[in-house]
Amino acid sequence: MLSTSRFYADARAVWGYEPSHDGTLMAWWGSKLGVRAVFVGELVGAKLNLLATFKGGVVHFGWRRYANLLVLTQNDRLWEVDPRRPQTRTDVTPKGLRTWQVIAESRHAADGQSILSYDRNPTFADLYSARADGNGKRLIEQNNGRTESWLLNDAQVPCLRVELTSSGMRRYLHRAGEKEPWRELAIIEPEDTLIVWRTDRNGKSYEALSNRQRDKVALVFLDPATGAESVLAGDNNVDVSDAFRFTPAEPTDVAVIHDGYPRYLALSERGAVFTELIFDRGRHCDVEISGSSKNGSLVTVAISYDEEPYQHYLLDLNQGKKTLLAPSARRPLPAPSAVTRPVSFKARDGERIPALLTLPVDASCPVPSIVMAHGGPARHDRWGYDVEKSFLASRGYAILSVNYRGSTGFGKRYQSLGYRQFGRRIQDDIADAGLWLIAEGIARKGKLAVAGESYGGFEAALAMSSDDKLYSAAIIDYAILDLPYQMQNNPAGWGLFLSQVIRYFGDPDEPGELAQMRTFSPVHNVKKLHGSFLLTAGLEDAVVGFEQTKAFENGLRGAGLDVTALYFRREGHGYLGWQTKLVRAREIEMFLKRMLGGRAKKIDAFAWLLKHWIRRRFMKRH
């Protein structure tokens, strides 16, 4: 049995390859002496010759669009560095701004770059420009308090603006030139989607993901003169979930549809070469693009074939060549321990609920099983390699990941079925998932756990209140557990997007709706709960404060229930540190063995040493 560290702490793991503007250099993430680092190498044939390593708090990197210069975000500063002279750095942090986010890079050294800043108000951003060296700050668009976003043309001039109206509708304003007046292009209902994601170089034609006047999101051409749409790619069963374009101002090359297994639809000649290269093995695959050269001819991708761990490739779309960037010969990758297939089950009201079933390789059912609820709730789980599912399957567990009603990706109708259904219809879906596993002979009663993070943790906690005691254990990560508290203390940055949250949960300013939130909040229902709980939270979580987990822990202990709680320092909403992930996974392994009887490695020396070495990362452990 592979140790926990092979899944969560492989010192040779690499990811996020990104080519420089001309494709001669490559940067990627890895680790050095246990610390996350950025590596840069020169691409010579199929080999990467290492040039430089950067570590010590680097949280982001990117290439300049006009030269082989790397830009690093480190210690809240922006640094420019030539990888061939790594000891010399230039501070290019935007001057005169306390908060900043570069959203469009300079095309040339003398050009401006576009920057969002929340200096004036934490609930909405203003749009600035500055030179590549960080100087020359200039206000481009001052937010009127209603603007959610801007779309820029190739010259970084705003050509589209999205505004939230007082009624909750969204106005899309277009202009043909910098000095032209803004004109209304479209106005859409709150439940509709219109994501304008590409403009041509002059800002005079658009592509968008839209479900206006249809149930499913399609990739469309949007005529700014008339607002009319023409469909470029779509599906009758699910939304178009993504689209790839290899050069920013060029038309979309590939549309992505996740109807069970992923499908990649070529829309251009380069897209056809891309799909031919990724499907050269004739198997199901999940693809993530990590970077491309300036002209789009070189693309770096991570590909998982049939749930094998991701491997990284350089695709040369001009030559039709595919090069493995991270050979695994030095240390074999873990063999696939899981097989995942798309399934669906019928809920008690007759609605079909899509899900993903992961079984251990060569499983002999029934096996101890886990139902997983994704966060959001405006999200969905999709097929592909998942380290947590692979790890749990290696320990003998089946996992059913439920795209409960309210999930995105399956059309407007399906998403709307989840509005105001927290603790009710959505909760029924989580229960019906476990009942389906038992009815199919995959699980047996008494050997079922439920798990979730963020909003999924909310559903996992409530699942432990059912009278039939379907689930005997719950794993709950950085969860919403006190809904009234959350809705009255949402992050300031959500200000222009709160209407979407209110559609799901209600208006906290309405006493009746606030009372409903309290009625179904886990922290206010501990007397109804049963079973054992494993809770985790990050002490720097700015989205869902760890205080909710702490209050829930106290309530569970007061009710005499079995609970283990871990609080991680230097972690927020979602865990980034491999040390955190490893310690958490080992704790889950032992917790589930105790509760469900799955397998666990008796001795994991590295995980044991790590837990004691980073004990100070915990506020408290019970």
Digit-coded pLDDT (tens) for 451-488: 999 999 999 999 999 878 999 999 999 999 999 999 99
Which phi and psi (to 5°) does residue 419 adopt? -65, 130
Supply the pLDDT for residue 363. 82
Domain boundaries, the chain: 14-93, 338-621
Q: Is the dihedral of CA 486, 399, 381, 591 positive or negative?
A: positive
- C-alpha dist (Å) from residue 462 to 431, 522, 562: 10, 6, 16
Contacts with 530 (C-beta within 8 Å, 6 or more apart), sequence order: 464, 465, 469, 561
pLDDT of 42-54, one tens digit each?
988 778 899 999 9
Mean pLDDT of 277-293: 88
Dihedral of CA 522/527/533/539: which sign?
A: positive
Position 336 scores a pLDDT of 65
Distance CA 479, CA 550 (A): 11
Instruction: Measure the CA–CA gap between 51 and 415, rounded to whole angstroms.
Output: 49
Question: What pLDDT, on a 0 to 100 scale, did the predictor assign at position 401?
Answer: 97
**Does 620 have pLDDT greater than 80?**
no
Question: Which H or E run contains 277?
Answer: helix 269-278
- Which one, of 233, 191, 149, 189, lies nearest residue 496 by Cα? 149
Of 3.40.50.720, 3.40.720.10, 3.40.50.1820, 3.40.718.10, the CATH number of 338-621 is 3.40.50.1820
pLDDT at 2: 79
**Cβ proximity of 72 and 38 under 8 Å:** yes
C-beta of residue 320 within 8 angstroms of C-beta of residue 276: yes
pLDDT tens track for 554-599: 999 999 999 999 999 889 999 988 788 989 999 999 999 999 999 9
Q: Taking the model in full, what pTM does it have?
A: 0.91
pLDDT at 379: 94
Reported confidence tier of residue 618, pLDDT bands at 50, 70, 90: very low
> What gap in Å lies between CA 276 and CA 491, rounded to an integer?
44
Task: State the CB neighbour count (10 A cutoff) for residue 53.
Answer: 14
pLDDT digits (tens, 9 = 90+) for 521-549: 999 999 999 999 999 999 999 999 999 99
212, 198 Cβ separation under 8 angstroms:
no
